Structure 1
């Protein structure tokens, strides 16, 4: 065999591994000495070969000798045989010969290397570093021809990572990367990066820099490493690089702004270490890009300059921030940082001044600086309401409410108030104004009026009425404010002229008040609010004729409201033009329909009746009023009409009107109207005259109300002594009185029969009651009433029900006349002997009474 097979070293090395794995007490040194004694100093290579080859190996040796360099199968069979029967020395001996014969066989080398690694892995790499070096040499020999095999490299690198050989391991990783194709590098980097992180220091940084060239997507981990190694400037540059790359996506799921925030935090926290980066330019670019995070970014910029020690530039950054942000949240964030910074500076200066006082030293310049800073801080706090107002106005310059608040903040500062009003009317877009834009113009004019400059106030009003407000109502309010300005200064004629100018319009105006395509100035002459103020003004300061002319103009423009009609009529009535006022009501009735017309008729008829005009004319007016009147409003008009006839006409005419009313009113009012009609008829013509009214009411009203009317009718007949008529009415009403739903009706009839009837009539009443109950039991509509009865029964508690039944029994017993007793317990008038009646069998109907009659 060739001399390169390491005859002495390989068996000793393997025997050491074997004895270790078998946990024997023999050490590597002992095995080596034993082998040396056996072999002797003159041991030759052939003798050692014979020592490792047994008789059982002859077959495999012969098979190998036939073709030792071309076929792998004999070697694999030989190796398998040795693995099963041979010692570790013998296995290594065969593996060494196989690797020498077939140096390019990946399979043999992989098996050999796994064997060597397995048997040294339990050993401590520091104590047995020579044994590990022998395995390293095996790996190096295998990589001479198998350097393109990634598995060999991975096993070798994993084996090296167990040893404390940083430089050798790093160089092995570098060789692997150079030897393997780029597609296999990811497998190497999976081991290389953890090694770099564990090595740390400059080694880790340089390894990661190489890794970044092929895997820039892992830049966040690289940045963390740089920060941990205090390389803040390089970390910031790496952040800038990935932020400038629009295709970069964070593996940790960070948004673009989150990465910006981390960059800003890094720049601010380590401002003194980072010198070659223009931090202010970076932060300002973030401010322009992230409009919703400007507060945080401006605060970061100010904090950066504070960290650098440049307080003036920090103050400039805070000032620029609070005067440019668009939200109150951002403003509050910057302002709080600003005030905290100023307080910290003042606090440090005060501490220094106190220390100087203790030492008895004086520094006028330092004291002056402290006073300046105190004054600046007070001014900053005083500016806060104005700065907040500025933020809200930058958000929406059309916010009228905030402009008015700004005016209030200036107080008595006339120059600033005027400037604020000027800026406001110039900045606000009338069509987009939030709030009442006209109130801003009015306040502007009132300010000059308050300071006695009426001329300037009028000029402002002239400009205001030309503003294209977003609604006609605002323009009308502006004209009214102008007129009130003149009224406050006792210029009544001027106020009237202003309103006349405001309401100026063509004689026949076809303009639609709600046409948004026209400007408010073109539609303002149809504003009822404007005309209402105008007519009130003219009525107060001008003559009646001028006032009537204004009212007539309102009617011509067809913008009159019911209130206008009433006001015009009242004006004429106050000036004794009664007939003219009636005509105004009639004109108003032509303009408006119900329900507005009802109110006008109510006023018109009341005033006409009170005026005591001709009865025939009044009748015509009432007939016009009730003609076409909805049933909902008919009751009041008919009552007024009937009352008129009762007072100034004939009673029978009033009765006809009430009779018409019972047909014209709504269903809700019909019962009440019939009651009123009956009352009036009884008072005027006696009770007997009400019979036909009762009869028609019973026919016209629904069942529930008809039942009530029947009870009233029967009571009336009873009072007249017409008992039979009353009984007939009760019988008629019984058809819509279910005994289970309307027990009160039957109780009243029963009391009536007890007082005025006899046995036959009482029996007839009971018969009718049973028949009615049977009718309802078979009627489909009875289901609803039965369900209602059950609900009422459940609501009452058992104790209350017992008390009620007991009270009903006592009342019935007290009201029952002599001779009327229960058939099952007492006697009846027909039983002369007075013998007790036979007990009655249980009837199917519990309400039935079985009377023991003589044949």
Structure 2
């Protein structure tokens, strides 16, 4: 660029305005140079595409012309092509750029020139949203509220609806900045197009202090089921915001039925009643109407259904009363300091103090009311309410009356029968036995949930008569309670029948009845009741035992035995076991005929399960030993070894062997041992073999004992049962010779080899390892290595050879001669001991 052009490239807005307003014919000699002739000629020649020529001309001037020359070319181009959006956009951006750094207030005239440019552009380009947005952004910098607002309105009217969002993007911030009525009007227009932004409008209204309009807008969106909060708020959250607005600005909001709105919320949001009732009361407090606030609190605490809501309201109520009392006390203190008196104010303070104390005293009753409103069938809460009244007899009676009327017996929570019983006891304690009986008569007609409740109530009635020494009347009551047809076919567990129809089969009722008659009546009367219990087939094992003991106490032994037999007809094992045990014990003690006893024992053992057979067989065998024949007793014990359970079989064999040895000598036990070894499992059979071998040894039958050891060896793994082999070894050392000892070792090796290939060997190894861990053995690897080496030596040794000694080297350095350590051989034969 030439130096003279560069020096003229910086022009003031005044020069640009001059270029705009000066006639082209007058200033062309100054603004059109010889270098511009080429572009001027192109414009004249290019009549079909003049835009291209003008753009080239503008580009040239942008690079080499002054600002005034650029403005001059832009003006000419826009006048020649007034509908060219591109030219106008470039021109407007050029003009805005040159005034953007100026103060709009100081250079208002220059800004107005640019505004006129925008207006001229919009004459034909009013459908171009970008021109409008640039113009509006330019106006917003000039702080001309009215002109800007009107221009926004013109843009909205000129542009199609699809383009309005681009305008509203600027219009909303402008409205928020403008504030006041202007902002409200603009937002109202915006709400007609975009109702989903109602929350932003409400925030603006609250900021501007238009609380009534904000509340109305809340009501509109709450009434609109299609409204969805852009902030993700639910219906109740919007409701809460509305209530907070209504309560916090109660004095400013006019023309809105606040109480009606909050009450509708109480009905709609049942889980937030506590908060809404407190909000309603706070609204009246803000309005200064304390009496209506107190009415709201009272209505709230007497209608809510949950303790949480009640606590919320009650705490707010108490705080309100405390604040009012505190204010009145401060005023009274101020008057006292000034020496003035006000009787009405003091009287009001006293009343409020009494009201507050009464409120705090009512709290337990109010909480109880809440729980009873939740479930009027809660018997426990009714009992608590009775306790709250204390000695107030009139209220206690009224509470009992209300409870009986409110509780549904089939849905009662707690013991409804106990509520009736306590009601009767209340009159009984007061000495009014007549009313107590009337209550009991009504109570036994109530259709309770279970038969047990009705039975307990009959028992309570009888006990009440007993407490007042009316024994005959108590018996009559129980007779009435247990009254039933001769042959009752009623099922005690049939829920389709009323408790009154089934109560005669209540064992608890009959048990109390029989105890009562046994205490105050005769033996015949008691027997009749027991017989009636058996007829109704409701007797329990305890009933059988009690009846039999009663007859035994009165020396009716045979009848007591018949009672046991009747009980055994009703019950089977395992219950029958206890009855047989008592029956047979008492029969043996009475020393009745031996044949009869044998029949009884046979009956007892006929269907006896194995786990209950042992005591009966022992008792049977003892009977035969005492009063019969010993061989009969042995047969019984032999039967017992077959009949008892697996857990008791070994013990039974031991007992059988002991008895046989004591009665018929040791030799008689041999067949018993043999059968025991066959019948018992391996572990117990091994123990039995040891006992059998010991007996044969005592009898001097060494070969028989050795044979038994050999038979038992198949049950003893040398790895996990060294005790058996130690006993056999001791036996051979004492009674054998070298051949027998070698035979024992051979058997041991063969048994060990058998277990090595058997699955049980794996289990034995696991048991051995676990035992070593329990004993704290830390060198398991070394011991296993030594054991494997010993096995290899035994496998490689010739048959019949027993090593006298075995040495094991002590670990030392390689190449050194390790010292020797002598290790005792457990299988070494002590020949000296054998010779002795």
TM-score (norm 2): 0.90
Question: Alignment partner of 1:64: what SS?
Answer: helix
- Give yes or no for contact 1:232–1:274 (8 Å, CA) kept in 2: yes
Picking from 459, 476, 484, the partner of 1:505 is 484
Picking from 595, 598, 602, the partner of 1:616 is 595
Is residue 2:262 matched to residue 1:283? yes
- Give yes or no for contact 2:621–2:633 (8 Å, CA) kept in 1: yes
Picking from 272, 286, 293, the partner of 2:272 is 293
Match of 1:823 in 2: 804
Match of 1:179 in 2: 158
Question: Alignment partner of 1:798: what SS?
Answer: coil
- Give yes or no for contact 1:503–1:524 (8 Å, CA) kept in 2: yes
- Give yes or no for contact 1:19–1:27 (8 Å, CA) kept in 2: no
Match of 2:171 in 1: 192
Match of 2:373 in 1: 394
C-alpha distance in structure 2 between counterparts of 1:96 and 1:801, whole Å: 108
Question: Alignment partner of 2:156: what SS?
Answer: helix
Question: Alignment partner of 1:501: what SS?
Answer: helix
Picking from 643, 656, 659, the partner of 2:638 is 659
CA 362–125 in structure 1, closer or farther in 2 if over 3 Å, else same: closer
Picking from 64, 71, 77, the partner of 1:92 is 71
The correspondence of residues 241-320 of structure 1 with structure 2, limited to 5 A, is 241-320=220-299
The correspondence of residues 100-499 of structure 1 with structure 2, limited to 5 A, is 100-499=79-478
- Give yes or no for contact 2:307–2:367 (8 Å, CA) kept in 1: yes
C-alpha distance in structure 2 between counterparts of 1:658 and 1:612, whole Å: 22
CA 801–135 in structure 1, closer or farther in 2 if over 3 Å, else same: closer
C-alpha distance in structure 2 between counterparts of 1:44 and 1:412, whole Å: 113
Picking from 512, 521, 536, the partner of 1:557 is 536
Picking from 676, 681, 687, the partner of 2:660 is 681
The correspondence of residues 511-526 of structure 1 with structure 2, limited to 5 A, is 511-526=490-505
Match of 1:542 in 2: 521
C-alpha distance in structure 2 between counterparts of 1:45 and 1:367, whole Å: 95
Match of 1:629 in 2: 608
**RMSD of the TM alignment (CA)?**
3.0
C-alpha distance in structure 2 between counterparts of 1:547 and 1:201, whole Å: 100
C-alpha distance in structure 2 between counterparts of 1:260 and 1:825, whole Å: 99
Picking from 706, 720, 729, the partner of 2:699 is 720
Measured after TM superposition, the shift of residue 69 of structure 1 is 8.3
C-alpha distance in structure 2 between counterparts of 1:472 and 1:54, whole Å: 123
Measured after TM superposition, the shift of residue 571 of structure 1 is 1.7
C-alpha distance in structure 1 between counterparts of 2:389 and 2:588, whole Å: 63
- Which stretch shows the higher mean deviation, 334-343 or 118-127? 118-127
Question: Alignment partner of 1:694: what SS?
Answer: helix
CA 800–750 in structure 1, closer or farther in 2 if over 3 Å, else same: farther
Unaligned runs of 5+ in 1: 1-14, 806-819, 827-839
C-alpha distance in structure 2 between counterparts of 1:747 and 1:52, whole Å: 135
- Give yes or no for contact 1:468–1:519 (8 Å, CA) kept in 2: yes
- Give yes or no for contact 1:622–1:637 (8 Å, CA) kept in 2: yes
- Give yes or no for contact 2:673–2:688 (8 Å, CA) kept in 1: yes
1:638-657 C-alpha deviation (Å, 9 max, x unpaired): 11111111111122211111
Match of 1:833 in 2: none
TM-score (norm 1): 0.88
C-alpha distance in structure 2 between counterparts of 1:548 and 1:631, whole Å: 36
Measured after TM superposition, the shift of residue 341 of structure 1 is 1.1
1:648-677 C-alpha deviation (Å, 9 max, x unpaired): 112221111111111111001111111111
Question: Alignment partner of 2:233: what SS?
Answer: coil
Question: Alignment partner of 1:248: what SS?
Answer: coil
CA 570–377 in structure 1, closer or farther in 2 if over 3 Å, else same: same
Number of residues paired by the alignment?
Answer: 798
1:723-742 C-alpha deviation (Å, 9 max, x unpaired): 22222211111111000111
1:291-324 C-alpha deviation (Å, 9 max, x unpaired): 1111111111111122222211111111111111
1:426-470 C-alpha deviation (Å, 9 max, x unpaired): 000111110011011111111111111111111111111111111
Match of 1:837 in 2: none
Measured after TM superposition, the shift of residue 58 of structure 1 is 3.9
Measured after TM superposition, the shift of residue 752 of structure 1 is 2.1
CA 848–60 in structure 1, closer or farther in 2 if over 3 Å, else same: farther
C-alpha distance in structure 1 between counterparts of 2:769 and 2:332, whole Å: 93
Measured after TM superposition, the shift of residue 122 of structure 1 is 4.2
CA 795–128 in structure 1, closer or farther in 2 if over 3 Å, else same: farther
CA 800–542 in structure 1, closer or farther in 2 if over 3 Å, else same: farther
Measured after TM superposition, the shift of residue 27 of structure 1 is 5.2
- Which stretch shows the higher mean deviation, 332-341 or 273-282? 273-282
Measured after TM superposition, the shift of residue 105 of structure 1 is 2.3
CA 575–493 in structure 1, closer or farther in 2 if over 3 Å, else same: same
Question: Alignment partner of 1:397: what SS?
Answer: coil
Match of 2:795 in 1: none
Unaligned runs of 5+ in 2: 785-800, 808-819, 832-836
